[in-house]
Chains A and B, each alone.
Chain A
Amino acid sequence: MAAGVRPTSATREAARKGRWRTDLIAGVFLLPALVVFGLFSWWPIVRGLLISFQQTNLVEPARWVGLDNFRTLFADPLLGTAIGNTLLFVGLAALIGFPLPLLLAAIMSTVRKGGGAYRFLVYLPVIIPPVVSVLLWKWFYDPGSGLFNAVLGLVGLGPYPWLQSPNSAMLSLVLESTWAGMGGAVLIYLAAMVAIPSELYEAAESDGASIGRRIWHVMLPQLRPVIGLLLLMQLISTVQVFTEPYVFTGGGPQDSTVTVLLLIFRYAFQNGDYGQAAALSFLLAVALAGLSAGYLRATRSWSRT
């Protein structure tokens, strides 16, 4: 149109109009995401914070109660139990479920032919729905018809009470959850291991380093960032453990498997005390944010190296 007469301002004008048009069209395409994230992610996050300072029971309108929810929360003797149990689960899961994938991946990295079979088998339990895994293991743990006591009985061990005793219940949960969740970590370690430049191993070998020293001085330092990352991912996911205690034991015996998330569930969906549940969720969020910050730092330092 007027482009020939006043090129600069006209193109600028056209560009400005085009800009608005693009923004408008992009806004339309973003609408599904904005609606879904707005209603089901952003708003609930903000609202969770608000509810922890409110009393809500779905019948009367919400009322501001200051720190009352936190006060009743801290007065609940189960809170300390739940935090302790959750830390026990996280700790045991790290102790058992952290070195095992590393070891398995190291062995799998030496396999030349048929590696696909190993990868398939190790990832198979991850595909099984968690509820099915837990019910399956509950049957294996069964004192009467259970597989584990029957097998251990063959070599003169047991019978063990597994889920029935407060001393072994949490360990039983950890064993199942390690089996169910380990596959992902193995495959990630394996991918990182085979990506280590083979010159590093060759150089170490020509310097006379044994296999053990090559693992210790070449492989593990090369994997350090991935190891840190996976450890954090594992901590973040095990802090939120719910399905195992809910389906295996319901928190028993003698509250020995009541975890933080199970307590939140009880407050909200059994007692209808949403404020108290939100207050505990808030504390959990703070703990997870700390871990996530560590995760972020680990990711950054990893992508730099």
Chain B
Amino acid sequence: MSTPQSTSMSTFVSAHERQRPATKAALRSIQVITLGLLVLFGIGPLYWTVKGAVSPPADLIASPLRLWPADARPENFGVALTDLSVGRYLLNTLQIVAGSWAVQLFVAVTAGFALSVLRPRFGKAVYAAILATMFVPYTVSMVSLFLTVLDIPVLHLNLADTYWAIWLPAGANAFNVLLAKRFFDALPAELFDAARVDGAGTWTLLVRIVLPMSRPVLAVISLLAIVHSWKDFVWPLVVLADPARQPISVALVNLAEQAPQDLLIAAMAMALAPPVVLFLFAQKHIVAGLGFTGVKG
């Protein structure tokens, strides 16, 4: 059954069924209703957060359904930034995210490069040991990880209340190593040989040949690392007892107990804005990373 318009998308509704008025109308209405619900549940909560952030507290209680407050108070954002120290908490989060990102990228690239390009004899065993950790979620070893961070073996350092306690364990991410190794595996080996013949050392090979060709996978690892560490809550809660060093996710839980509701909501709006903006600009890469996680893991 050939149809004039051939599409790449396959679906259970055929092209000529779409021409039938009844089917067309039914399909249309289902799609529109779905879109409406998605807007309601996707954008709705974000809009409601912004609305709540600029509403006087009395308004929030007296008329919870009002779409926009009579006297909006955009100054609430500034007040939350300074009076609730949201500015500092956001900076803390930024430091945590930046460090975790750097460590994850460094570990994934060096390990992926060694395992894929250099291929030492013990490579297979190391790779297997790394992949095996994917089957032990970190929540399961959280208690012993905490005790380890309090007293690092051999060095006897206490990392608690420092960001190293978050940065370094973040690097132990098997999925990043897997992504990097698989990507490097697919690069043409002739290039490496040619570079070697030209006298390139191992470091030059990594920095000049492999990395410039690996932008897509570096982007995916980076975005996964950034989104993940921005969202992280349990581990910073456990390891950062000092309120002055806590990220916004941990601080919000404390603020929820004491802060006025409108300022708390303003703080929440500022905590979710950066990842949402990042998502606006990097949607494609994030969804690509998700494709990796979901199906190829």
A residues within 8 Å of B by Cβ?
19, 22-23, 25-27, 29-34, 36-37, 39-45, 47-48, 51, 56, 58, 104, 106-112, 117-125, 127-132, 135-136, 138-140, 144-147, 150-151, 154, 179, 184-185, 187-188, 191-198, 201-202, 205-206, 211, 214-215, 218-219, 226, 229-230, 233, 236, 240, 242-243, 246-247, 261, 264-265, 268-269, 274, 277-278, 281, 284-285, 288-289, 292, 296, 299
A289 contacts B147, C-beta separation under 8 Å? no
Interface of B is mostly: helix
A25 contacts B142, C-beta separation under 8 Å? no
CB of B209 within 8 A of chain A? Answer: no
B145 contacts which of A31, A40, A185, A201 (Cβ < 8 Å)? A40
B residues within 8 Å of A by Cβ?
1, 7-14, 17, 23, 27, 30-31, 34-35, 38-39, 41-43, 45-46, 48-49, 52, 60-61, 64-65, 103, 106-107, 110-111, 113-115, 118-123, 126, 129-130, 133, 135-137, 139-150, 152-153, 168-169, 171-172, 174, 177, 202, 206, 227, 230-231, 233-234, 238, 248-250, 252-253, 256, 261, 264-265, 268, 271-272, 275-276, 278-279, 283, 286-287, 290-291, 293-295, 297
B120 contacts A122, C-beta separation under 8 Å? no
B38 contacts which of A41, A48, A56, A118 (Cβ < 8 Å)? A118
Listed A/B pairs (21) with beta-carbon separation below 8 Å: A19-B121, A22-B118, A27-B122, A29-B118, A32-B106, A33-B114, A33-B130, A37-B130, A58-B147, A118-B34, A129-B233, A131-B249, A135-B253, A135-B268, A147-B48, A187-B291, A193-B10, A229-B295, A247-B253, A268-B142, A284-B139
A44 contacts B11, C-beta separation under 8 Å? no
B107 contacts A243, C-beta separation under 8 Å? no
A124 contacts B148, C-beta separation under 8 Å? no
What is the CA–CA distance of A1 and B177 in the complex, to the nearest angstrom?
40
**Set of chain B residues within 8 Å of A296, measured between Cβ atoms:** 135
**Set of chain A residues within 8 Å of B110, measured between Cβ atoms:** 29-33
Interface of A is mostly: helix
**Set of chain A residues within 8 Å of B272, measured between Cβ atoms:** 127-129, 132
**Set of chain A residues within 8 Å of B129, measured between Cβ atoms:** 37, 42
B14 contacts A129, C-beta separation under 8 Å? no
Most A CB within 10 A of own CB, among B14, B113, B177, B297: B14
Closest 5 pairs between A and B when the two form their complex, measured CB to CB? A26-B120, A33-B111, A121-B42, A29-B114, A26-B118
A135 contacts B264, C-beta separation under 8 Å? yes
